[in-house]
Structure 1
């Protein structure tokens, strides 16, 4: 239900031409586009605790004086959000204001903030054993590794637990080089695989680069982006929503894919030795702006890489654990089986944890020396991660991602057709990107200031989303996977209103 005028309640009905028509309870048409007042937030059924901590001014003073300046640089909003408490898809600030969280701490809170089942598992383990390393044999790590392995296809059955996605990706680089005896690794432009010294070589975005040597032996190839890239068409990607670009490709054939694979072949022929160590790719780029490749790109890329002695690595840090809806792992949507899979974020629902999964043969090469991790695979981390897997299975989280995510994308595609500044809507499940442009003809990125203006307005109406893309032009929607269709309708109304507000101010 949405509030449209002086206390009158109305329901938003979707129409064919416009995303929303607003009707009063008597059936009278009140509004044909964006509501004149803020939509009413769905009910929650949970009451947050009253905040009694330090003031906002005190927090900002400490943030400026005692926290690294980087924390100020990455603060998302001009008017910061001071978060106090979370429950499922909801967050409360220190003033008691409630927000619908559609970013989940950067696609990390998989099943919901403070989910009761996960919280109970954490408390139970805290009362038993907080920490011991894997130099001792404790049940939690073995129970979890067996459970996680059951979710992966053969021969991906050997697991090493880490603290983060960056650490998992660094180990994947090391394993690939040890196993193949080769050094060079290829990634896609626009990719983000971490910010540690080694993974910065995999990452291909100048925003995350420093003028220091890092990640030697890493080469980037053209990103097969069918919306912003050189080639693209109207049925390239595995998504409920395709690009606005037209093509004349026959059914089952993609000229764009052929061209992008040609670029990879050129990279292999000109920029690396004849034998390489690995190829890294997210099944769908995350921080890069939810970029999706042509349907057969990864399958053909994997073949080319393996012909040159390399292994294929799927970075599932943002796409894993059912987020894409159709499959538990993003790579499954490409009909491929990688040689190494890395994961983090949703694995622990916000608890710091990562993992690298590979074959017995590749894992054996890792034993040429000793690698020790103090906190990886701790009893607490494994108990929490095990509860996350149980929750996904019990609550049908993957199916919810598919149902709500598909609904969100198809409704936002209607907004795309309404607003000239929405260039593209893409993704799978609850891994969604909305790319903002100056106009659909040029597809030039909407300026950062304009994106931030809309971004801030959405926050002020009670919804938190993310940003990404090479130019910061893409809104990212990667919520806890427990959100409902009612939540989706609320966001659609807020998004519609924020775009209407922006267009009126122009």
Structure 2
């Protein structure tokens, strides 16, 4: 194949894309290939991927075992919609009922995380016959009008005319100025106040069990238990957004399991398809009864996506990727914590979803600029790493779960050298 190269791609993006579409790096490569934890550019340079397409490629790029099932399904039948009977979709729904937490059993298939979160919010309204929502500052739930309205990151809210009526934000249980315990108590007090004033018109609260784009923010262990207790007292549902955190990413099949809480509705996407678009919102028999009016997603759960997802779940189980994520995540966190640098403020997260909070030591350069320097130099050395956070100053480590200890050792050794070079 004749590659047009990064400069030509950037030129075409500038001419044909919306200006909202950005890219990482001052000197970006053209990515042309992938194999498990590795990516390759147009010059055949090899990169170790520590971002996994933002927690999508949990089973690795172009995983041959999964691709075999995907291609076989493509050769059989590529698409029908839910009004026709196909086998992969029902087998996937049955398999999900086995792995989802608690008594969550019924699934509605969509294509994107935004669509699934929107569906979950509609389900909550139908079941409770109320229409308000509570969300956390720092949360990200999608790009539809309603999911943007419950997104608590200013840079991602996009529109100055989002839904404001009956949308209530409370502070997340994390603050640079407070201890974790103090931040949790402040958040719970705000939740209690909102529920006492508006609980009779609030149907659900949405949370990511770890805030991904918000900076890899994990909550105190008993926070969500206390949240669930408060919500139940006012007949308010808990919607857990596992779009980034699901399917082994955090060392559990679903991140909510770290908190010993079963949500009323759970939303998943990203890693379920390992690069093939598919998303879900799932709930109990009782709550699902309310979602009875005609509804369908044209591409949701189509045979190729559903068969791929079945193969993903089989691969995760067969290769013990949940356990490996837990073990390798602890190893990666330990290696990151051993790095000595005045620019590292904190290492956060669990499993293979870790964030390194960067702090500036010089007023002439911001923490976000330092983060970009780190990503650029690590890319030059053959490592793809992400970034997130409210100020875009958190280095994000979310590699495929098939990463190795050797990959971690090499990456962290290079990261130590890069941090020493920054002045």
Q: TM-score surpassing 0.5?
A: yes
The answer to whether the 8 A contact 1:89-1:101 is kept is yes
The 1:56/1:411 distance shift into structure 2, 3 A limit, reads closer
Cα distance in 2 for residues equivalent to 1:360 and 1:491: 46
Deviations, residues 76-98 of structure 1 (Å, cap 9, x unaligned)? 11111210000000000011111
The 1:371/1:492 distance shift into structure 2, 3 A limit, reads same
Is the counterpart of residue 390 in structure 1 residue 314 in structure 2? yes
Is the counterpart of residue 414 in structure 1 residue 338 in structure 2? yes
Give 1:213 shift.
2.4
Which SS does the other structure have where 2:47 is aligned? strand
The answer to whether the 8 A contact 2:101-2:257 is kept is no
Is the counterpart of residue 485 in structure 1 residue 405 in structure 2? yes
User: Quick check: which one's helix share is greater?
Assistant: 2
Which SS does the other structure have where 1:491 is aligned? helix
**Quick one: which of 285, 290, 293 aligns to 2:216?**
290
Cα distance in 2 for residues equivalent to 1:262 and 1:89: 43
Stretches of structure 1 that go unaligned for 5 or more consecutive residues are 1-50, 234-253
Match of 1:52 in 2: 2
The answer to whether the 8 A contact 2:172-2:184 is kept is no
Give 1:256 shift.
4.8
Match of 1:263 in 2: 190
Match of 1:35 in 2: none
Cα distance in 1 for residues equivalent to 2:86 and 2:119: 23
**Quick one: which of 233, 241, 261 aligns to 1:336?**
261
Cα distance in 2 for residues equivalent to 1:215 and 1:483: 41
In the superposition, the TM-score normalised over structure 2's length comes to 0.96
Is the counterpart of residue 348 in structure 1 residue 273 in structure 2? yes
Alignment of 1:19-98 (within 5 A): 51-71=1-21, 74-98=22-46
The answer to whether the 8 A contact 2:132-2:167 is kept is yes
**Quick one: which of 426, 430, 449 aligns to 2:348?**
426
Match of 1:224 in 2: 173
The 1:229/1:267 distance shift into structure 2, 3 A limit, reads farther
Q: How many residues align?
A: 421
Is the counterpart of residue 184 in structure 1 residue 132 in structure 2? yes
Cα distance in 2 for residues equivalent to 1:232 and 1:346: 33
Deviations, residues 274-327 of structure 1 (Å, cap 9, x unaligned)? 4410011111111111001111110001111121121001111111111111x2
Give 1:152 shift.
1.6
RMSD: 1.8
Is the counterpart of residue 359 in structure 1 residue 281 in structure 2? no
Which SS does the other structure have where 1:198 is aligned? helix
Instruction: Specify the structure having the higher radius of gyration (Cα).
Output: 1
Is the counterpart of residue 313 in structure 1 residue 239 in structure 2? yes
Which SS does the other structure have where 1:476 is aligned? strand
Deviations, residues 451-494 of structure 1 (Å, cap 9, x unaligned)? 21122111111111111111111011111100000000011011
Cα distance in 2 for residues equivalent to 1:436 and 1:54: 35
Stretches of structure 2 that go unaligned for 5 or more consecutive residues are none
Match of 2:329 in 1: 405
Which SS does the other structure have where 1:277 is aligned? strand
The 1:127/1:211 distance shift into structure 2, 3 A limit, reads closer
The answer to whether the 8 A contact 1:405-1:430 is kept is yes
The answer to whether the 8 A contact 2:139-2:213 is kept is yes
Cα distance in 1 for residues equivalent to 2:61 and 2:338: 30
